[in-house]
Structure 1
Amino acid sequence: MSQYDTTLDLSVSNTSHAQVLSLVPAGSDVLDVGCATGYLAEALTARGCTVSGVEYDPEAAEKARPHLQHLVVGDLSTMDVAAEFGDRTYDVLVFADVLEHVADPADVLRRLLTLLRPGGSVVMSIPNVAHGSLRLALLQGRWQYTEVGLLDRTHIRFFTRRSVLELLAETGLAAADLRTTFRDPLDADVEIDAAALPPGVVDWVRAQEDATTFQFVLRAVRDDADAALSRAVAERESLRSQVATLRDTAERARAERDAAVASLREVQGTLGWRLLRVPRSLYGKVRGGAR
């Protein structure tokens, strides 16, 4: 069985899988890159998505096959995307805990981005090498690989918040939604002898930026300058239209006010109005005398 096979508990939101699923719109055509045994594909299918997959491990791929419309078994680093996928394209590309396992994440992203439809998005989860547990472990000279987790022995690339954003920029993407999962530095399955650390060190590390961030989970879109310019122009024109509407409304209100004033002056200029002014004047004097 694949070491990455798992059972999803979607009632727990503080997991990368739950966050990834929440960033994929229901009913999307999805390519699950590194689909393992298909546990994520199964959950996506239950949300009305049509899912294809890429997997390196043939045994895991066969377990995933029932949940996939199209399956490619191969190495992401050397794959001929055009030959494997032809004219297939997708609304969403999912890289759930994948890019840290490849030597050149930017190259993998660029090649697979050819499969992304216009307006599509890339959803990914990536472990945070700046998590407090690793900072504390390094203070004690520890860097012990494990089967899974932050120091999974098959991780060959490591990311911080800054390097994740740099990876996006390098591949022509921009983060539209960036979330995190969290875990306390002393609760991350990393070997630490907390009792041997100087007083206050653990609390100091906990207070540092991203020290409790276990994974980054994000949705990215193409950073298209032309599209951004078009959106800016459209927003400007919309504001102009709103201003014009407000101006027209103000001018109509002004015209109605002027018409009302003119009408009142016409009434005040009539004989009846002038005759009423005398009794009103006398009535005012009588009331004044009564006081």
Structure 2
Amino acid sequence: MLNLRDKVVLISGVGPGLGRSTAATVLENGGKVVLGDLFSDNARIAAAELDPESVNSAHAACDITDRNQCEQLVALARSRFGRLDAMVHVAAHSASVGGLLDGDLDDWETVARTNVKGTLQLTKAAVPLMHESGGGSVVFIGSIAAVHSVAGIPQLVYGMSKAGLVSATHYLARELGPLGIRINTLSPGWKWGAALEEAIGRRASSEGVTVEEYMEPVRQAHPLRRYTNDEEVAHTIAFLVSDLAPSITGQVVYIDGGLTA
């Protein structure tokens, strides 16, 4: 049985969507959360919605590309709860769309600075406290874009950045394993939610079709004929940070309806 009782989980990127769903799942299973987001209102609103009495949560604005802010977010975990057992990296830059010929390679600097450097920077800031706490679990949020291209939606730069996290997963599993810290990447596929629905709505409208008509070929490409969603991904994250997964490290877990099979 999944039990996160008294585990302190730091989550970056808690706007509406996966970050907030992950926080809700952690709290529902007895854990405590430290919420960080580039926009302070996102962190504040998430905390107010999920833990109105502020008993099991703390929150702060955090730009993961800023080392000082990363250290301050970890310091908040220490001052409020005295420990840190897990981290979930949802914060990411995903606005870059395009291939080699129609995209802007200058986007690489912005995307990689957040998705790769920022993710590693926050992890590095947290390692000492996690080690003091007896070890723990880090979950990078990857994407099937790292290994699977989708016709009509080129994500060259974004996919490259997520591929960087896959490499980091393998290296860090060996480096941090002796400290009792596990590292895994969870890579969703087509994760249906507000952000994807809005993006697909624009594309469908430009082609004069409904969202359902636009997405039907994509749905059919999935062996399970369905997409995942934020809640399903959040439950998988909760498993990876729990004591039910003590030997799982250095792995990339795809939750994509079989699209990459």
Normalised to the residue count of structure 1, the TM-score between the two structures is: 0.33
Structure whose alpha-carbon radius of gyration is higher: 1
Normalised to the residue count of structure 2, the TM-score between the two structures is: 0.36
Q: Which has the higher contact order (CA 8 A, sep 6+)?
A: 2
